[in-house]
Amino acid sequence: MTRPFIIDCDTAEDDIMSLFMLLRYGISVEGITIVEGNISFDQEVNNALWALEFIGKEIPVYPGSQRPLVKNYRTVENVHGKGGIGDKVVKPSKLKASNKHAVDAIIELADRYAGELEFLAISPLTNLALAYLKDKSLADKIKKVWIMGGTIYGRGNITPVAEYNIWVDPDAAKVIFSSGMELTMVAWDLITNYTINDEEWDKIKSMNTKLSSFYIDIYTHYRNYAMTKQKMKGNPHPDLITTAIAIDGSVATKVEKQYVDIENCECLTRGMTVIDYLGIWNKEPNVNVVYEINKEKFISMLYNLLSWF
């Protein structure tokens, strides 16, 4: 049986490529849920539908929450471009979003695939938190939640200590991190160690497939931002590395089960993931925290994806 997944997106370039990787590796994507985040909400929906048209797939797209549970937030077009794939703004030509709200879709799919459904959260956790608050049995029905979010060492990207997805809705993150779900966290300051360097970028350019050309097109803005503003040696793949780990757990070479709490104050440390790495609080570990990955295995999966067509 193929593995049923929901992919929860604030659809920019890395979300799109994550969707494609799931499909490339035979994952059954049962729904795409959209949440507030990277760019304007309507453009996030359009990007998901446009990406499905590009790859020739019809998967339900469920619009969800357009704001955090409590707090205000801001989009980050400076990072991803006006359209989330650079400054190009796209629209689907045929496909339309579902009228069903993402929260209801999550609950229905969790019922349908109880004990089997996996949730790929490469976005703020608002949709999942709202679904859980509506139906607490979700904690037993969802098999695993894969989270791109947080930091291990407190080196953030939206504030000095917070990663964007958790910062956007720390109250939702606090709900999910205390829900009892099986959580795996792939942190921002982990993935910054595994950027696409110039040699790998040039290799992708030379592949000359439809997908490799698509990749270069949608990542150029993000790559330039990462290298000039974030002091990286290439473009990072926060969502895509999380997706690769969800597909193949051996991509993660060091994982520790630890207690993690979320700082949800409106303060300097809003959105910080606080890891009790010494067990000082004597609380039951609640998160599988990824500390190292096998970059060669990840890059191999990326090249395999880009050679698809």
| Residues whose CB falls within 8 Å of the CB of residue 138, separated by 6 or more in sequence, listed in order | 106, 107, 110, 131, 132, 179, 181
Q: Averaged over 270-285, what is the pLDDT?
A: 97
Please tell me whether residue 275 adopts helix, strand or coil conformation.
strand
Please tell me the predicted confidence (pLDDT) of residue 4. 98
- Number of neighbouring beta carbons within 10 Å of residue 187: 27
Please tell me whether residue 29 adopts helix, strand or coil conformation.
strand
Answer whether residue 233 shows pLDDT above 90: yes
Tens-digit pLDDT profile for residues 54-67: 999 999 999 999 99
Please tell me the predicted confidence (pLDDT) of residue 1. 65
Which one-letter DSSP state was computed for residue 251? G
% the chain with pLDDT above 70: 100
Task: Find tokens 């931002």 and name the residue.
Answer: 225
Please tell me the predicted confidence (pLDDT) of residue 22. 98
Q: Averaged over 131-146, what is the pLDDT?
A: 98
Q: Averaged over 183-203, what is the pLDDT?
A: 97
Distance CA 166, CA 44 (A): 18
For the chain, what is the mean pLDDT?
Answer: 97
Q: Could you tell me the pLDDT band of residue 246, with boundaries at 50, 70 and 90?
A: very high
Judge contact between 186 and 241, C-beta under 8 A: yes
Answer whether residue 13 shows pLDDT above 80: yes
Please tell me the predicted confidence (pLDDT) of residue 235. 96
Model confidence, pTM = 0.95
Answer whether residue 289 shows pLDDT above 70: yes
Q: Averaged over 31-54, what is the pLDDT?
A: 98
Nearest Cα residue to 300 out of 4, 11, 24, 13? 24
Going from the C-alpha of 85 to that of each of 47, 49, 172, 191, 288, the distances in angstroms are: 9, 14, 26, 20, 31
Q: What angle do CA 202, 206, 210 make, to 5 degrees?
A: 120
Q: Averaged over 240-261, what is the pLDDT?
A: 98
Please tell me the predicted confidence (pLDDT) of residue 275. 98
Which one-letter DSSP state was computed for residue 3? P
